[in-house]
Amino acid sequence: MKRKQNINLFLLAMVLALVGCGPKSQLAERQNFDKDWRFLLGDDSLAFQQAFDDSQWRKLNLPHDWSIEGEFSADAPATPEGGALPTGTGWYRKTFKLEKPDEAQVFYIDFDGVMANSEVWINGHYLGKRPFGYISFRYDLTPYLKFGEEGNTLAVRVDNSAQPASRWYTGSGIYRHVWLVEKNPVHVAHWGTFVTTPEVSAELAKVKLDIQLENRKETNSSVVVKSTITDADGQAVAEAQNKLDLTVGLSTLTQNFELKNPALWSPENPNLYTISTQVLSSGKLVDQYETPLGVRFFEFTADQGFFLNGTQYKLHGVNQHHDLGALGAAVNTRAMERQLEILKDMGVNAIRMAHNPPAPELLQLCDRMGFLVIDESFDEWKKRKAKQGYHLYWDDWHKRDLEDMILRDRNHPSIFVWSIGNEIPEQFDTTGIRITRELADIVKSLDTTRPVTAALTETDPEKNNLYKSGALDLLSFNYKHKEYLKFPDRYPGECMLASENMSALSTRGQYDFPSDSVRIWPPAYNSPFDGNADLTASSFDNCIAYWGATHEDTWAVVKNNEFIPGMFIWSGFDYIGEPLPYPYPARSSYLGIIDLCGFPKDAYYMYQSEWSDKTVLHLFPHWNWDEGQIIDLWAYYNNADEVELFVNGVSQGRKSKATDKFHVMWRVPFHPGSIKAISYKDGQEILEQEIKTAGPAAKIELIADRSKINANGTDLSFITVKVTDKDGNMVPDAANLINFNVEGEGFVAGVDNGYQASTEPFKANYRKVFNGMCLLIVQSTEKAGTINVTASSEGLDSNFLTVTSN
């Protein structure tokens, strides 16, 4: 298949959100179904039966990840690569009552994601199985429900026992939301809208809305379908209306609109519209379906990279796995929002969802907060990566899983690229030609407005069968950044993307000298190396995996070559699992710019100085060493010409960044006191930073990211805990054990310290600080009030903090 040099694409809108309003007998209701489940960690062959006695099971609310509650072990079947946490089999049951509706209704149960191999029963009737833990799915409950006092029982068996099933931590259980959906028999079908913008300019946007309607009555039905587009202020700006007779089953309808002077969507200005589609029968509103809309247009070019809304645009991207640190895989909207806030503050404008479909709420946040998204379907095709991985289900499930991902996600304005695979072994097998074409055809049967790509590792076009398929619109490459320079000659007329970069290793607050000597750990696959006894890696940009590169070397290539649209760092945050280069007790990754707690490592500020509008001066490391020890001091800075360093008040000279270098360095002996950096622009001071030698640990400092949260049972306050000396200077090597007491309308949701080889539990009321810091996560109850947090440690002054839950 011949591809065009330029891939012109136009943006679409956000994923569906079913909204209920009005009488229950008329309008659809989408009810959150997370509360009051019973859970058993174990297996019972009779637990699917409605009459089964689950009264002794644990009571809990979803989303739930039972693995994160377990203890770390080198013998865990998931292995340290999978997080060294327990997996196994579990059961969930929920009993609920329904009032008989005034009119005939249909009922569905929607699961946003269950990890993994879920099987579902309603009142003892088997509904089906979904092996893939990342996919969303729906079952029809209507034929099996009982109304009135008798009640209904939903039973879910989750089997995540076959391990290792992944190359990272997956979590276990019903880890995303569940929804009970009640609809009129005439309604917009599941994932039933598709909005595109075939023409976009600053003056006019043409909007096309395809609607799939479902008639579950036994006879035809005459309806009026009215759709209204409203802007961010709630003002109606366009409208369309059609009258049609629906036959039994599925029918389709297309509505067209024009928006004058549209507010375009971009990461800097994530403007959203809303399309409200109403279905009326005999003058009564029987269904309402809302589809947020983002209007934008973009193109990839072979010679000038990427353009968004007509302007050349560099992609400042990161890769993200789905776990939320100490909270595990269990979805929490505030935790995801906090991660995105931290990334936004760094200057990130794009995210690759690695390597499977994310939670719907994460995509909604990206739409609202402004991130371009690569939505990726599979890490594994028919050829095996993990022993118990997705290859076992490929033949039976890949088509449906891919279709469901596209149907669920294709209205998100954040998504601009579909990825059908990551580092697929079929690159080196001619079966890769056939499978790539099949998957690309599936995507394009449902959406032709975005390019299809796959993350490749083989840069030689003669050796890469995914490329030779001719089905990829966009060629994405992982690592080998120096090979990018050969791309225009190797792939004339093609468009590229740097989809995975660096794999630089680091531990927050750890520094190995000399800083200008790069360590490659390991130097080759399974090769021995001389690492650190404490299983840490240097936070200078001087430690990499054998396939990787430093942050500065890679960014210099991407920054200085216009044809490269941008890059995606591996990874934004540390994540549980894949603890290369170390064996157990290492159990989480060293590859993030931000540690598992959400505390930035030093490279964060290099990117902030390059990718954001913030004025940056970041001096490191700390100033607590052995007398006379030779210390390298680095500074990342921007919006300045040079930086001057002072050690105990004595100038060490001014320095400017060399070509394609993004820091300055001084090498000085340590003497207790202070270091200070000052940045200058045209001789004028811009910023100043001072670091003092810390004395003995004396106090605990508590800093809440939000002191007011919502009393909804799910909101969170992330409390940074620091150990300081008597003058408030953080003690950079402190390892004190902190005990937490939380009283009032909240509880401890998790604790962590960012150390990749800690085997302390995530679910506890204590934590050792690591390099002076740890994290306490407090979750609200559903009752308004105060949450009183006390932190104490032997030999330290205690501290107290209050969070208000409204």
Q: Active-site positions?
A: 423, 500
Amino acid at 479: Y
Q: Are 344 and 351 in contact (CB under 8 A)?
A: no
* Euclidean distance between CA atoms 612 and 688, whole angstroms: 19
Q: Is the dihedral of CA 401, 402, 404, 408 positive or negative?
A: positive
| CA angle 581–583–589, rounded 5-degree value | 50
* Euclidean distance between CA atoms 308 and 364, whole angstroms: 20
Between helix 394-409 and helix 431-446 the angle, nearest 10°, is: 30
* Euclidean distance between CA atoms 16 and 31, whole angstroms: 15
* Euclidean distance between CA atoms 285 and 186, whole angstroms: 10
Locate 777 and state its tokens.
């996560």
> Which bin fits 67, alpha (ψ -120 to 50), beta or left (φ > 0)?
alpha
Q: Are 82 and 126 in contact (CB under 8 A)?
A: no
Token look-up 């990206």 returns: 366
SS3 category, 38: strand
Q: Are 291 and 275 in contact (CB under 8 A)?
A: yes
Give percent helix, percent strand, percent coil of the chain, each to the nearest 5: 15, 40, 45
Cis peptide before 116 (omega within 30 of 0): yes
Between helix 333-346 and helix 360-369 the angle, nearest 10°, is: 40
SS3 category, 384: coil
Cis peptide before 164 (omega within 30 of 0): yes
Long-range contacts of 398-402 (CB under 8 A, 24+ apart): 398/439, 399/442, 401/132, 401/135, 401/377, 402/377, 402/378, 402/439, 402/442, 402/443
Q: Could you list the beta-strand ranges (E) of 84-235.
A: 88-96, 106-111, 118-122, 125-130, 137-140, 152-160, 178-183, 186-200, 204-215, 221-230
> Which bin fits 367, alpha (ψ -120 to 50), beta or left (φ > 0)?
alpha
User: For 3-34, b where at least 16 C-beta lie within 10 A, e where not — what string?
Assistant: beeebebbbbbbbbebebeeeeebbbbbeebb
Q: Are 497 and 417 in contact (CB under 8 A)?
A: yes
* Euclidean distance between CA atoms 238 and 744, whole angstroms: 49
First to last CA, the chain: 58
Q: Are 441 and 406 in contact (CB under 8 A)?
A: no
SS3 category, 806: coil
Contacts of 527 (CB under 8 A, 6+ apart): 546
- Closest listed residue to residue 134, CA positions, set 119, 114, 117: 114
* Euclidean distance between CA atoms 383 and 185, whole angstroms: 43
Between helix 603-611 and helix 333-346 the angle, nearest 10°, is: 70
Locate 107 and state its tokens.
């009922």
